[in-house]
Amino acid sequence: MSVIDDFLIGVDLPRMVPVRQVFADDAVADVAQAVRDQFERPEIASRIVPDMSVAVGVGSRGLSDLPTIVATTIQELKRLGAKPFIVPAMGSHGGATAEGQADLLAHLGVTEQSAGCPIKSSMDTVELGHLPSGLPIYMDKHAMQADGIIVINRVKPHTSFSGGIESGLAKMLTIGLGKQRGAESCHAEGFGRMAQNVHDMSIYKLAHTPFLFGLAMVENSYDKACMIEAIPGEQIMEREPELLAEARTRMPRILFRPLDVLIVDQMGKEFSGTGMDPNITGRAGTPYLTLSQEVTRMAVLDLTDNSAGNATGIGLADICTRRLFEKIDVAATYANCITSTVLGNARIPVTMETDLDAVKLAIKTCNVPDLSKIRMVRLANTLHLETILISEALLPEAIENPAIEVLGEPREFEF
């Protein structure tokens, strides 16, 4: 028995209750058809000229139905006579290497075979100009060699700052297609200036690149696209804030607040840029994000394979497991965090040998005198919040809430 084991003697795990959180379910019935419908719009179709080359920016986020959305976009571009190719639009992700970014796309189900077109992955950029502050503005070299550029992304609240434009088309245009150098430039003044820099760099790029339009998705609380809209380049800065407001109202959340302990089974880049969405956990790496959740102690148990070792956001947890720690690719994680300038997102929490010990330590240190009253929630991840587990002490609260459906009796904690 180790010294750590001595500290955990007598820590009992609460019984947990499965519940369903009920949110609006208004997903698009046929995603491929919804994409085709956007290409039927004259103001979109007229931008495609036969034989023009079109660079399609695809990011590292786990959008719902991403392979279908990308493949349908490529099919529609070809139908209109274009010659499309895909460019990874993910800033410094994938370890800031061309191979790593292509691998990330493959992890998300986007390959040359699935999409039906070439993928041109490179970290080479073109310097377009500078902001008045002197920050350089970079653009992917392959994209700038194309006759036209489009991007595909969901619009949602960012994980490190709040503003009129957060995570969406403008950010992908600025940071995603800026590759590592562009991402580093946009982050150089910190997240306190991020909203303004994304705005200003987007305005510049829209005026100095052959940008055509962006294909935006808004997802509902069940991680399904509920809106798909092609937005002409000249309308993005006006339309995207409206979609962001819509996305904010549709975000899932934990319907219990505050929490003594939050257990997250898996963190990962397909769930959030910071592995675990601060808008859900209440834990952020910067002071520039408006949050509502309160969590005393948080433990994360694993890292997804799709993250390819990028554990950005691990530092937001108090406790992790040895299993997660051994999956971390330090180079990929550091590349992401150094580029964003938020070094705390790469800090390693207290590391426990097993899931059981990690959970016990979270309970031990949550400062609740009577553990029979502990307010504890367990999530599969921070993106899928329909079915969660709550401690038995939260059961009366769940029964009183019409947005919560109790799915079973209290049961012993399972691993």
Could you list the mean pLDDT of each consecutive 10-residue stretch along the chain, which spans 415 residues?
Answer: 77 96 93 98 97 94 87 98 97 88 92 97 96 96 98 91 90 95 92 92 96 96 93 96 93 95 95 91 90 95 93 97 97 91 95 96 95 96 95 97 96 92
Secondary structure letter of residue 315 according to DSSP:
G
Structure tokens at 36: 């085709």
Q: Which residue has the tokens 């899928």?
A: 384
- Note the pLDDT of residue 247: 93
Cα→Cα distances 183→22, 163, 233, 289, Å: 37, 18, 20, 19
DSSP 3-state of 145: coil
Q: Which residue has the tokens 């808008």?
A: 279
Q: Map out the domains of the chain as residue ranges.
A: 7-23+252-406, 31-250
Q: DSSP alpha helices (H): ranges in 80-177?
A: 98-107, 112-115, 141-144, 169-171
Cα–Cα distance measured from residue 192 to residue 160, given in angstroms and rounded to the nearest whole number: 9
φ, ψ of residue 153 in degrees (nearest 5):
-165, 160
Structure tokens at 368: 């609740």
CATH of domain 31-250: 3.40.50.11440
- Note the pLDDT of residue 342: 92
Cα→Cα distances 165→11, 155, 156, 237, 398, Å: 45, 9, 9, 8, 35
- Note the pLDDT of residue 39: 98
AA identity, residue 402: P
- Note the pLDDT of residue 2: 64
Which one, of 230, 80, 90, 112, lies nearest residue 167 by Cα? 90
- Note the pLDDT of residue 388: 98
Q: What sign results for the dihedral spanned by CA atoms 382, 104, 30, 241?
A: positive
Cα–Cα distance measured from residue 229 to residue 34, given in angstroms and rounded to the nearest whole number: 8
Q: Are strands 211-219 and 148-154 parallel, antiparallel or unpaired?
A: parallel
- Note the pLDDT of residue 163: 87
Strand (E) or helix (H) holding 71: helix 66-79
- Note the pLDDT of residue 327: 97
- Note the pLDDT of residue 114: 96
